[in-house]
Amino acid sequence: MAEIREIKKETEKSLPKVPKVKKASKTSSASDKVPTPKVGTKVPSNGTFAIIETGGKQYRVVVGDTIKIEKILAQTQSDKAILAGEKGDNDLLKEGDSIVFDKVLLIDNGTDSTDIGTPYISGAKVSGTLVEIGRNAKVIVIKYKQKSRYFKKNGHRQPYFKVKIGKIG
């Protein structure tokens, strides 16, 4: 019996001590219960956001966001003329111009109402300002067939617009 008692004493000594955890008091403030957002997410002050469609893609935008979208043509009455090639490049958008997105899929005011379009919300618009016109990094396309001396190498830089969202409504 003496051997068994010694083993029990040794195992009790080898176990690490667990620190005691204090129980949360019932008088915690409401700010302690508000979940903190994940790093990198943008939380607007009033919670209003919209989902717009442009360039075949959908973007979640908040007032003050800067988004990188596909290059678009001028939004004037001469759009058809530009597409037909009747006018030159002088009708394209320039930095500082205002852009209006009328294909709004969803608007949420952050508190109680969410408007969902079928497919778009009629009369809803999101406006912004063109901040930068640029081109992405080069994408290299290689076509190769072995043993037949066929090798083609092409590069492409996709143009983009950076737009700062100014108003949702």
- What's the one-letter identity of residue 155? G
Q: Report d(CA 145, CA 135) in Å as an integer.
A: 30
Q: By C-alpha distance, which of 48, 73, 72, 46 is closest to 60?
A: 48
Domain coordinates in residue numbering, the chain = 45-168
Q: By C-alpha distance, which of 141, 4, 131 is closest to 67?
A: 131
> Is-above-0.85 flag for pTM?
no
Q: Which stretch of DSSP H or E encloses residue 18?
A: none
pLDDT 10s digits, 82-123:
444 454 555 578 899 999 999 999 999 888 888 899 999 999
DSSP 8-state code for residue 45: S
pLDDT 10s digits, 17-49:
666 666 655 555 554 555 555 555 555 557 899
166: left (phi over 0), alpha (psi -120 to 50) or beta: alpha
